[in-house]
Structure 1
Amino acid sequence: MGVAIRTAGEADRELVVRLLDAAFQDDPVSGWVFPGEEHRRTTHPLLMAAFTDIVLTVGRIDVTEDGTACALWMSVPADAHDQDDEGPARLREAIDPENERVELIGRLTARIHPVGRAHEYLWMIAAAPEHQGEGLGTALIASVLDRCDREGLPAYLEASSARSRKLYERLGFELLDRPLDLPDGPQMWPMWREPRG
């Protein structure tokens, strides 16, 4: 049976924020950005809300019709300019001013993001914890990869856990260069997928 997918709108904002927060609360990278468990429980949702707002404005969010999973996508043109140098600092100031890792994660991932070639960027993908492992993430990604294949577009992402990396490898993504070692923290894996003919 297929998974019904639709494009999220402003009315879906809180749903998307809740999905992202629940799915990433215990993610290794989220744990590194917000090392204190109680602080993470209260501040992490603010970061997920900021990410949701950015993608609702300049990208696209796909959500399963039943509201159990979502994927945040950005179309990156070949002539994309470097990231707004002040963006990570503004995000830190708005979310958690004393936490330099909120800013650092944005700067480090921007530094490894490939440039010079148009591609689809999977910023984040989340399934409600009770629905993980049901193929929802695969369905959300596959719908965009099918379009990428038709249009000859590659796709890019950063895997934040060994588990997600394995999923992306099954979908044709390969490690791009080498993993990103977060200072005193976990690894992230920049991954690239060439379109399939």
Structure 2
Amino acid sequence: MFTIKPSWANRSYEPEFRDLSRLFSIYGPYKHLIEKMITHMQNDNGTPFRDMLLDSALKEQILSDNSTENSTRLRLEKAFNTFIDWENKCYPAKEKDKLIKVILDSKLPKFDRFQDNINGMGITVHDTWATHITMKSLQVDNDRYRAVVHYKIQDHFGLDIDDISKFKFNQFRFFRIWFVLQRYNQFGFKPFMTNMKATIEITGDRK
């Protein structure tokens, strides 16, 4: 598919890798994340990565997803509106499985929107590996409710053989260089786990 050059090529591969990354990070507050993550991959020997901008991007994604069919936030809101016991000011324990089904039937937060192709989030995260959603609290008071929901997400910043075998990756020199830097032991760029978290509020009233 492509040729691996000797170890001295790292001197030219690494700057080119950074330069090409800017094609996917053109504008917005997250555009510098990819260079920070490249540096982490180069120097931090595979340790997990966290950044407040990733948390901000996750929260923005959750709050801006207005798809009633797919949004975890909107589907949870619908479940609260449907099943809250207003007389006893609680969410019935017998209906807890409805919340699980709501999440399973939703599209979990990802960065695969059109704008993510150029704002830096598609290249740094795109899809995700694991999502943990926790309802921290639910307060029902008079004719209003307020739920606090916590999202914890992990992604893998790296390319495997299946990834690089796909045309959407191997057509770009950026991904071919990424694969070489990560895989060839003379270069020592280590893939790592990316950790993100966000807490949102869902509110509503008695209909």
Q: Which has the larger radius of gyration?
A: 2
| RCO comparison, higher one (Cα < 8 Å, 6+) | 2
Same-fold status (TM-score > 0.5):
no
TM-score, normalised relative to structure 2: 0.25
Q: TM-score, normalised by structure 1?
A: 0.26
